Chain A
């Protein structure tokens, strides 16, 4: 289980990296944290001709605030983000999701941008990007920078809107509106495994009713998806168990989740419904919903 041979460069400027990509097209592969790519190399499931390592380019791992937005370089390590107070303050949903990524030794190498660009349908960060309406900045030598809304970024099974000559250079998460509660939950076979189903949820309450809700699911489609129908139905509703139950049904309507060894399509559907209900409940409580009202009727499990 050893990687095949490849050429390797670790450019010290973004320009140099972009020009390598421009020269080699889809023969080249960007190496960010390597936590997904290197196992694929070792299993000889990926065979790039050239690896372009971004780790030696200065300035790609910064975390900052700009007009209330969280701005991260794509080479920010997941472990770094997890411990960064700024992330906790500006992007609680991202903070909530980070500990679910693999294990500490994975997060200390894995990068935020690498996870997004890899676009594993079960990964956590793509769902966070979707649920928060993040903006993703792609840069190429030929066309410079372009900003993509997360909704346009994830295109399919391990597929993104990035062109072969582009590098995801920056991720921007918008500020959270007042009165918003968030929750990230997943169901995995074991702690740290890729989830069978994951859910990034946020709920904004105004005057006791739901003013806005964002739900992004992993593991139920070839790419992470927003449960738009459920979100629409939630707006204006009261945060009750019945409403959340209904949202779960709507979230999975028309979906045929993939099946694998760990969870069948039917299982993922059922669990997605459960997660929507549970995560909405937690998010609503964090947004200030009343326990009594929320849990009226039969007791909730979680």
Chain B
């Protein structure tokens, strides 16, 4: 069993593959991080929003008079005034997305309509947040309440009140159907068809730091300087320039330390646009720090999908094909839901050999918070598939592990592709399943389970397996677009250190450590001599930022290749200086030296100085000791693995204790095993939270019920068990870059793993689990000791 200090990989370099201590930590452990809320600018003002107390209403009148003359108030903006200053954009991830999808029309602050609880109606800017909140209370808003559409089911009813007038209905997209393979023939040949209705409840990111922005417009220069809590600075810059209608070159966005995100902080939210617009109008710095109630109520929520599934199977348990109908509850304003349809559809076969799939998707608009990306946004495919496999196993009276092993695709054997298209090259699903079953010792667990049941104790074991496109297989015939490439700049500084400029925007992923590890090894200097610059649109290359578990491969790979290219340049210059061939030289520990001791060595400082001066070098030599590298992802590949949970359910109270949690995973070559394991465990903890604790709850009238951390329950140190991790040996697909992403997998597969374990524990009660969220009261209902 591995710990961070005993990774199974051979150490690639001195740093890559080792649990190098993080360079981020000295500042974070001493309270010297710089989060957006820590920024202090002279004359900085503070913003607060007036928000809708109703889920759906017409805004009849907004009276801001009293607030404007309240103590410390510098400005008040209602929806109409804000509409003059800023255009509403497409929300967290650009437009609502998807072909043939009409965009809903709305404003930055509500003008005519509020569409969810907490919808921003007015903005107050004051000398302190205290005074801004005081003034918010003086703003009178008259509403005419409309019937709230609080479920996808209601939204799909043509009689429901359209939430966006220009759309005419609450169906944003669909139903659209795609078919792969001969679905009808496969179902006709099946011995039986297993059906299930599976639901995934609404839950959300809840980073410990909410959203936030400090916007500072200088009327003298026309420059807008912004500090943001974001996963990518360029996206913020582009969105603000477009929505405020100012030239891109006048907008500068920086980000410091980010207190987590998990998918929430992409692009700019309506609030952030409003705050920037206020700064533009006032010519003063304005700060908005989202409070926890705002964060829970309006920042965005995720995951609310329901599925009708039919599985064509043989009597022996071969899964031949699936028919899936999915409905997404996308909430009120543009989010990522329509973009996810394609990913969920493509990923639902997972690592299994099925021959046919029919997938129908509908996206509904409701009066709830917008659908945002949350760690493995497409994860419902894994939830549905892995729960379904256990339901199939139960119907056949077979062990789910046997059914999984029977159906899983085996590396190198047909089919070489998922039925939906992507290559299955390099997958290790079979290995991870077998290893997990061995580590858990399934046979002896079953004996222990039986004994426990005789004592009235209910233990269960559950497995889940997944593959994650991190970055996903590369089709050699396809050239990636410029946006898909990862750009990176690296240069040798005059002091002999190396600086890496990356568009990655770490918010816990430790890129300032991992990219420095890779750069140090492949350039040839100590880890401490590499500086990684992030979060400044004036300095870092274009790129979408950190998300989608892309960084390890894309930024890790870009760093590797850039370091090699920079090294070649440095050797070229050094060779001139010491009059030898570059092929005889090497960079070791900050010195350029010949492999044979006969030639003299030279320091990197000397090389950098000579390159800058140029007088000792012949004309024609490239003196620019800086490289820009765009990486296409190399051969790409899957991350994946199998998780296993052992639980005990107290059938009298419905409380679940996770007794053991085991991960067997494959993320390729690890840059820093301690960081990899931190990502895996963090994801598992969120998955445990989703099943046992977390739910974004709404009342029938659309009132949001979980607006505090006493209502939205995050897992704590007593809820999350020790999580054991074993890493599988790397299948090398690329000559150089075999790091694969690991950010999302834990969160993707933990919910079905835990659900399967709970279902196994409750098998003696004949419980059939088809929902992801299993709080204690619900378990007693399922067990039957309490009425639903």
Q: Do any beta carbons of A and B sit within 8 angstroms of each other in the complex?
A: yes
Which residues of A line the B interface, CB within 8 A? 1-5, 43-44, 187, 189-194, 261-264, 266-267, 270-271, 274, 298-301
Known contacts A263-B776, A267-B654, then 16 further A-B pairs from the complex at CB < 8 Å, ordered by chain A residue? A1-B291, A4-B133, A43-B293, A44-B137, A189-B713, A191-B719, A261-B695, A261-B706, A262-B775, A262-B777, A266-B786, A270-B652, A270-B780, A270-B785, A299-B456, A301-B456
User: Does B705 lie at the interface of the complex (its beta carbon under 8 Å from any beta carbon of A)?
Assistant: yes
Per the bound structure, the CA–CA distance linking A193 and B693 in Å amounts to 12
Q: Are B653 and A190 closer than 8 Å at their CB atoms?
A: no
**Contact string against A for B residues 653-666, beta-carbon threshold 8 Å, 1 for contact and 0 otherwise:** 11100000000000
Q: Are B650 and A301 closer than 8 Å at their CB atoms?
A: yes
* Chain B residues within 8 Å of A267, by CB: 654, 776-777, 780, 786
Per the bound structure, the CA–CA distance linking A44 and B48 in Å amounts to 14
CB-contacts of B691-735 with A (<8 A): 693, 695, 697, 705-706, 708, 710-711, 713, 715-716, 718-719
User: Does B292 lie at the interface of the complex (its beta carbon under 8 Å from any beta carbon of A)?
Assistant: yes
Q: Are A190 and B718 closer than 8 Å at their CB atoms?
A: yes
**Contact string against A for B residues 772-788, beta-carbon threshold 8 Å, 1 for contact and 0 otherwise:** 00011100100001110
User: Does B441 lie at the interface of the complex (its beta carbon under 8 Å from any beta carbon of A)?
Assistant: no
Q: Are B716 and A190 closer than 8 Å at their CB atoms?
A: yes
Q: Are A270 and B786 closer than 8 Å at their CB atoms?
A: yes
Q: How large is the interface on B (under 10, 10 to 19, 20 to 34, 35 or more residues)?
A: 35 or more
Q: Are A261 and B718 closer than 8 Å at their CB atoms?
A: no
Interface SS majority for chain B: loop
Q: A1-B291, A189-B776, A301-B650 are in contact. Are A261 and B457 (CB under 8 A)?
A: no
User: Does B134 lie at the interface of the complex (its beta carbon under 8 Å from any beta carbon of A)?
Assistant: yes
Per the bound structure, the CA–CA distance linking A266 and B293 in Å amounts to 29
Q: Are A261 and B711 closer than 8 Å at their CB atoms?
A: yes
Q: Are B775 and A43 closer than 8 Å at their CB atoms?
A: no
Q: Are A2 and B133 closer than 8 Å at their CB atoms?
A: yes
Q: Are A4 and B291 closer than 8 Å at their CB atoms?
A: no
* Chain B residues within 8 Å of A261, by CB: 695, 697, 705-706, 711
Q: How many A-B residue pairs have CB under 8 A?
A: 74
Per the bound structure, the CA–CA distance linking A47 and B693 in Å amounts to 32
* Chain B residues within 8 Å of A263, by CB: 776-777
Per the bound structure, the CA–CA distance linking A72 and B130 in Å amounts to 37
Interface SS majority for chain A: loop
Q: Are B655 and A187 closer than 8 Å at their CB atoms?
A: yes
Shortest Cβ gap from B742 to chain A (Å): 27
Q: Are A187 and B716 closer than 8 Å at their CB atoms?
A: no
Which residues of B line the A interface, CB within 8 A? 129-130, 133-134, 137, 291-293, 455-457, 650, 652-655, 693, 695, 697, 705-706, 708, 710-711, 713, 715-716, 718-719, 775-777, 780, 785-787
Q: Are A194 and B719 closer than 8 Å at their CB atoms?
A: no
Per the bound structure, the CA–CA distance linking A44 and B138 in Å amounts to 14
Shortest Cβ gap from A245 to chain B (Å): 11
Q: Are A190 and B719 closer than 8 Å at their CB atoms?
A: yes
Per the bound structure, the CA–CA distance linking A39 and B207 in Å amounts to 20
Q: A190-B719, A261-B706, A299-B456 are in contact. Are A274 and B129 (CB under 8 A)?
A: no
Per the bound structure, the CA–CA distance linking A299 and B776 in Å amounts to 22
Q: Are A298 and B129 closer than 8 Å at their CB atoms?
A: no
Per the bound structure, the CA–CA distance linking A205 and B231 in Å amounts to 64
* Chain B residues within 8 Å of A300, by CB: 456
Of B455, B457, B653, B780, most A-chain CB atoms within 10 Å: B653
Per the bound structure, the CA–CA distance linking A300 and B787 in Å amounts to 23
Shortest Cβ gap from A124 to chain B (Å): 16
Shortest Cβ gap from A11 to chain B (Å): 25
Per the bound structure, the CA–CA distance linking A45 and B654 in Å amounts to 32
Q: Are A264 and B777 closer than 8 Å at their CB atoms?
A: yes
Q: Are B708 and A43 closer than 8 Å at their CB atoms?
A: yes
Residue of B whose beta carbon sits closest to that of A273: B652
* Chain A residues within 8 Å of B787, by CB: 266
Per the bound structure, the CA–CA distance linking A187 and B777 in Å amounts to 11
Per the bound structure, the CA–CA distance linking A189 and B777 in Å amounts to 10
Instruction: Sample 14 A-B pairs with CB under 8 A, ordered by A number.
Output: A5-B130, A189-B713, A189-B775, A190-B713, A190-B716, A192-B718, A261-B706, A262-B775, A263-B777, A267-B654, A267-B780, A298-B456, A299-B456, A301-B457
